[in-house]
Structure 1
Amino acid sequence: MNLVQLGWNDSIDTSFKEYESEGYAIGRISKGYKNTYKVITKEQELSAEVSGKFIHNASNKKDFPSVGDWVVLTLQVEEGKAMIHKVLHRFSKFSRKEPGQGSDEQIVATNINTVFLVISLNKDFNLRRIERYLITAWESGAKPVIVLSKSDICEEIYEKIIEVESVAIGVPIYTVSAHKGEGMDNLKKYCIDGETIALLGSSGSGKSTICNYLYGSYKQKVSAIRTGDEKGKHTTTNREMLMLPEGGILIDTPGMRELQLWDVNQSINKSFSDIEQFATQCLFRDCQHDNEPSCAVKAAIDQGELELDRFNNYVKFQRELAYLERKNDKKSQMEEKKRHKKIGGDRTRFNRK
């Protein structure tokens, strides 16, 4: 296997040059566990751990390797092992706020060229969820593609496409049935050497079935959805990088019931460009689109040019980001206070000596 098949490009080549001259090897993280990783080199796949120096220099979770990362290695080929010393620059990354009450960034996958946002055409179809996925996809630096799966069970495909087009402005949209092989050629054209595609979507959206079709064999376990609400069960439990037989790399990810936004201010403007355009016509530059006079956004809603649900979702995202910013700022202040307290303690101990 050559490095181009692994997704090698000029950006990675430039980042690695200084380490290559010192005798280090290069590899790409294909799978992550709690404390260990699988890493693919141009010769083989190895089990890997991060070095003690790496752990010492890491400030938080996002500094550790994620699936898709290119990493600097020393190899222990006979033992089938490697040591990770450095994560190279990520030209793209798909992140979310960690689930629950925390306020840390959780990196889902990195160095992605294209994101397949898989949305099922069953009762779990949700435009507001599509908006959330699109915002995060744009922020990742990868190109989003909407994949409307399970088209064989939908009788209103054209209407659904029109709905999605209203929120996914300028984004390619494909309807597929991986179960029947319908529309899958549209996805295959993205699967070429050097390209990395991430599959993202909620549980039961059909990601694993699409993965199996593109891989050409039964690679990922597939589970039936619940009969009541047609939501799925978690069948993919770990992120994994798969080398596709016909070229390209596929990163399958666990289904996400919760996708909280992370640092996506610029992407909101892009995803909601229609609302942003209306806002430029408001009388006041700082219009909140609430009770202000001559508000172009409110007028667009009243005239049916803008859906109220879409605007409400836009406001919800803005509030979510404002809350996260406040929480992170408070966390940063506490960490800075601890750091200064530690420095003060170190000085006191030094002076006593």
Structure 2
Amino acid sequence: MNTSSQDLAGFGWSNFFQSQLTADELTGSVPVRVTVAHRNGLDVAHPDFAERVPLLTTEPHDEEGRATVGDWILLDAESHAPQRLLDRKTLFKRKAAGADRRVQLIAANVDTLLVVSSCNQDFNPARLERYLVLARDAGVMPVVVLTKADLAEDTETYRRQAEKLMPGLLVECINARSREGVASLLPWCGNGQTVALVGSSGVGKSTLVNTLAGEAIQETQGIRASDAHGRHTTSGRSLHRLDTGGWLLDTPGMRELQLLDAEAGVEDLFTDVFELATECRFSDCGHETEPGCAVRAAVEAGTLDPERLKRFRKLVAEEAYNSLSLADRRARDKGFGKMIKAVVKEKKGRWE
């Protein structure tokens, strides 16, 4: 490679990626970072050039083998034909929305996840917990960013609610419209660092992207005063260079975030519940009606929020179901359908 590792470091390159190269690749390949993943190609960036290259050839059903935004791939030094995808430091993924069971890759090689919500009706602890599980499972440090702090009468109430979601969680209340208002986020946007933004529509995420970038990268729209919601203004995931030397990855507002293979993230976020569960009388306690349940005792004693326990149960059940193999899911769905039919038939017989 003619380009030095120091130049590449400004793009997020590190020894983690350097160590993956063979002797031949050190001289015959060029590492580039994926900034946008299209259906028919990849936009890539390098200190000396930026261009669109064809998609990497992968196995038809290997979803995680496809390049996504933030990935590093190797190009042939002469032809710039894609050669291979390098192993990732981190990977965000989810189950595709709706009935689709495919894995959807969100972003790769992210250092910090900025979880964006706002100091108004959009603030939703359950939604924040989903993003936090996503971050913890990927091994990425999350920072909750509460926008519209300049419009709220009491930002500290929102801050305290967010801080309760995870021990040691960093929460920043900001005014996303000014550079001064986002100054507290700049330490995570240093040279070669990659930050990703996630959050629902209407929380000021696109405004924050533009302010951090110092230019109008994303279109912005106002929100409906009736419910504090807005429409999506970001059409796809994209990686942008910041004047601080970092990289910012914006993602579309997610209407549906289904967890997938995120058991470690759930355990990490709900350590309080799991620690209580070790004190239950029965090892397979469901924390519902079993005697000697330490989790229910904590709820009754007021030391565990009952709403947090409800959210915990929902995320555990959802993650377990989404992570089943397709064959297991079909078998489970089929068995569940038979059970429902049997119950309906029995009730119908009683009515007749």
Q: TM-score, normalised by structure 1?
A: 0.88
Percent of residue pairs bearing the same amino acid type: 34
Query: Match of 1:305, as an amino acid?
Result: T
Report whether the alignment pairs 1:37 with 2:42.
Answer: yes
**Match of 2:124?**
126
Please give the alpha-carbon distance, in whole angstroms, between the structure 2 residues aligned to 1:296 and 1:19: 59
Deviations 1:50-76 (A, max 9, x none): 25xx24x45333211100000011256
Query: Match of 1:43, as an amino acid?
Result: D
Please give the alpha-carbon distance, in whole angstroms, between the structure 1 residues aligned to 2:294 and 2:196: 38
Report whether the alignment pairs 1:68 with 2:70.
Answer: yes
SS in 2 for 1:169: coil
Query: Match of 1:189, as an amino acid?
Result: P
Deviations 1:264-312 (A, max 9, x none): 1111111001111211221122211011111110011111111111101
**Match of 2:349?**
none
SS in 2 for 1:129: helix
**Match of 2:18?**
13
Deviations 1:6-43 (A, max 9, x none): 00001010112355246121100011111111001221
**Match of 1:293?**
291
Query: Match of 1:63, as an amino acid?
Result: G
Query: Match of 1:256, as an amino acid?
Result: M
Q: Where does the alignment leave 5 or more consecutive residues of structure 2 unmatched?
A: 332-352
Report whether the alignment pairs 1:116 with 2:114.
Answer: yes
Displacement of 1:332 in angstroms is 10
The 8 Å contact of residues 69 and 110 in structure 1, kept in 2 or not, is answered as yes
Number of aligned positions between the proteins: 326
Please give the alpha-carbon distance, in whole angstroms, between the structure 2 residues aligned to 1:182 and 1:294: 53
The 8 Å contact of residues 93 and 111 in structure 1, kept in 2 or not, is answered as yes
Give the superposed CA RMSD: 1.9
Deviations 1:213-253 (A, max 9, x none): 11112221111122321112111111111111121110011
**Match of 1:141?**
139
**Match of 2:341?**
none
The 8 Å contact of residues 132 and 259 in structure 1, kept in 2 or not, is answered as yes
* Of 213, 216, 221, the match for 1:215: 213
Query: Match of 2:125, as an amino acid?
Result: L
Q: TM-score, normalised by structure 2?
A: 0.88
SS in 2 for 1:46: strand
Please give the alpha-carbon distance, in whole angstroms, between the structure 2 residues aligned to 1:172 and 1:320: 26
The 8 Å contact of residues 53 and 82 in structure 2, kept in 1 or not, is answered as yes
Displacement of 1:159 in angstroms is 1.2
1:151-162 equivalence runs, <5 A: 151-162=149-160
Displacement of 1:212 in angstroms is 0.9
Q: 1:311 to 1:128 in 2, by over 3 A?
A: same
Report whether the alignment pairs 1:276 with 2:274.
Answer: yes
**Match of 1:3?**
8
Q: List structure 1 runs of 4+ shifted beyond 2 angstroms.
A: 16-19, 57-62, 74-77, 180-183, 325-333
**Match of 1:187?**
185
Displacement of 1:168 in angstroms is 2.5
* Of 260, 264, 267, the match for 2:265: 267
Query: Match of 1:260, as an amino acid?
Result: Q
SS in 1 for 2:61: coil
Displacement of 1:325 in angstroms is 3.1
Displacement of 1:328 in angstroms is 3.1
Please give the alpha-carbon distance, in whole angstroms, between the structure 1 residues aligned to 2:314 and 2:91: 24
